[in-house]
């Protein structure tokens, strides 16, 4: 796992790692930070949340003092009340009396997690009761950020609502970009002008091949599944996911305009879902490679950090240096690493999914939606 500043930080603090839950028997605050990946039906898997809660319940049963259990994992609304608290109370202790419960979501960007933790835009504390919230608030006194104190369900939906909105902005500008490309309009100038409106802002208005990673898509899918479960059809959020799923397909269609894919060497620049990380979960590059392999193309790929993780997904493709990628019959830019701005694309066929300015020097250049 690559995180800027993390190695230095770990050298300044004392952290004890263990798989034995009884080692936290004296903790004043116990955070649940386990993953909630998507299940096959599109909902968030709560298996790890349940397992952690069971282990903490065993610890609570050995105590007679007060502590707070704080859920930091991203969950759909209702999870803390309907799953976590009932499991914790199998300890024969009462939530809000014998122990506290909070839900405090994280808002960290991968690759910038240390900075974001130290410089939060806001701190959200969802509290089961006031004492629980006061205890957790005591950990936040050194942060210069607004604190939103609310109930458990509101805190849970704040996190998924934030990521859903970010995904909506990305899919929106990509859809506008798809239309602009057909019209011959300049998508990037459209986005620039839109961003100057303070009601809109320029963040997450970069047209391209869509969002990836472990958070945005999962959180939107989880919220969609929860809404359907309650009998509501979230049309907008469903469309956000559909537009995002279709953007990588557009890359392959653009390639087909200029070159036959079967038996052709296609170079992929960038494998991580975004620059600054080695994370390839839901990477747009992975979807593009999957489609290209199905079309019979040969793949040569490069990324400064993510090759080991990507090799786990596609062990049989070629992992090469940047120079070898540039020798391929056509090139796809899938991650906006800064170093890609300094390559020589002259004479090449380039399908650009991320808006690398230097790539416009290619013999044949196509932006995915500009």
Residue 135 lies in a domain: yes
Distance CA 43, CA 83 (A): 15
Query: Residue 158 domain-assigned?
Result: no
Q: Identify whether residues 100 and 144 lie together within a single domain.
A: yes
Closest CA to 220 of 40, 42, 39: 42
0.95 exceeded by the pTM?
Answer: no
Question: What CATH number is given to the structural domain containing 245?
Answer: 3.40.50.720
Domain that holds residue 174: 163-367
Chain segment 160-207, per-residue pLDDT in tens: 999 999 999 999 999 999 999 999 999 999 999 999 999 999 999 999
Interatomic CA distance for residues 255 and 250, integer angstroms: 9
Angle formed at CA 244 by CA 201 and CA 288, multiple of 5 degrees? 125
Nearest to 103 by CA among 27, 36, 54, 32: 32
Q: What is the pLDDT of residues 320-339, one digit of tens each?
A: 999 999 999 999 999 999 99
295 and 327 in a single domain? The answer is: yes
Residue 1 pLDDT = 76
Are residues 196 and 105 located together in one domain of the fold? no
In a domain, 204, yes or no: yes
Residue 287 scores a pLDDT above 80: yes
pLDDT in tens, 106-156: 999 988 999 999 999 999 999 999 999 999 999 999 999 999 999 999 999
C-alpha to C-alpha distance for 69 and 349, rounded to whole angstroms: 55
Domain count, the chain: 2
Give the whole-angstrom CA distance, residue 127 versus residue 142. Answer: 20
354 belongs to a structural domain: yes
Helix, coil or strand: residue 38: strand
Nearest Cα neighbor of 246 from 301, 214, 279, 291 is 291
Return the percentage of the chain with pLDDT > 70, whole number.
100
Residues 206 and 139 in one domain: no
Asked if pLDDT for residue 47 goes beyond 80, the answer is: yes
Give catalytic residue positions: 215
Residues 98 and 215 in one domain: no
| 40 — pLDDT class (breaks 50, 70, 90) | confident
* Burial tier of 14 (Cβ tally within 10 Å: 0-12, 13-18, 19+): exposed
């Amino acid at each position: 796992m690559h995180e800027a500043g993390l190695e230095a930080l770990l050298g300044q603090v004392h952290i004890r790692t263990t798989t034995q839950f009884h080692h936290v028997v004296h903790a004043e605050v116990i955070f649940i930070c386990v993953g909630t990946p998507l299940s096959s039906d599109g909902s968030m898997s709560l298996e790890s949340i349940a397992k952690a809660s069971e282990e903490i319940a065993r610890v609570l049963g050995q105590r007679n003092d007060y502590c707070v259990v704080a859920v930091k994992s991203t969950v759909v609304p209702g999870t803390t009340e309907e799953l976590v608290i009932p499991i914790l109370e199998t300890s024969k202790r009462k939530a809000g009396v014998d122990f506290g419960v909070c839900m405090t979501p994280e808002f960290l960007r991968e690759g910038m997690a240390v900075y974001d933790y130290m410089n939060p835009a806001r701190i959200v504390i969802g509290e089961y009761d006031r004492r629980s919230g006061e205890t957790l608030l005591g950990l936040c006194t050194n942060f210069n950020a607004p604190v939103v104190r609310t109930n458990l369900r509101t805190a849970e939906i704040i996190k998924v609502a934030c990521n859903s909105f970010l995904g909506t902005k990305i899919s929106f500008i990509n859809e506008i970009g798809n239309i602009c490309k057909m019209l011959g309009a300049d998508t990037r100038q459209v986005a620039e002008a839109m961003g100057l409106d303070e009601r809109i802002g320029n963040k997450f208005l970069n047209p391209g091949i869509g969002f990836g990673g472990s958070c945005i898509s999962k959180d939107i899918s989880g919220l969609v599944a929860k809404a359907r479960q309650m009998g509501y059809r979230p049309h907008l959020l469903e469309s956000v996911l559909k537009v995002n799923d279709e953007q990588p397909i557009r890359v392959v269609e653009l390639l087909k305009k200029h070159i036959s894919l079967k038996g052709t060497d296609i170079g992929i620049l960038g494998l991580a879902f975004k620059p600054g990380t080695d994370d390839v979960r839901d990477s747009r590059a992975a979807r593009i490679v999957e489609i290209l392999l199905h079309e019979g193309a040969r793949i040569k790929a490069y990324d400064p950090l993510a090759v080991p993780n990507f090799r786990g997904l596609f062990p049989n493709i070629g992992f090469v240096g940047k120079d070898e990628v540039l020798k391929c019959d056509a090139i796809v830019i899938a991650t906006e690493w800064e170093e890609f701005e300094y390559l020589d694309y002259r004479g090449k066929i380039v399908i650009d999914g991320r808006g690398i300015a230097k790539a416009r020097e290619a013999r044949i250049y196509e932006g995915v939606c500009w």
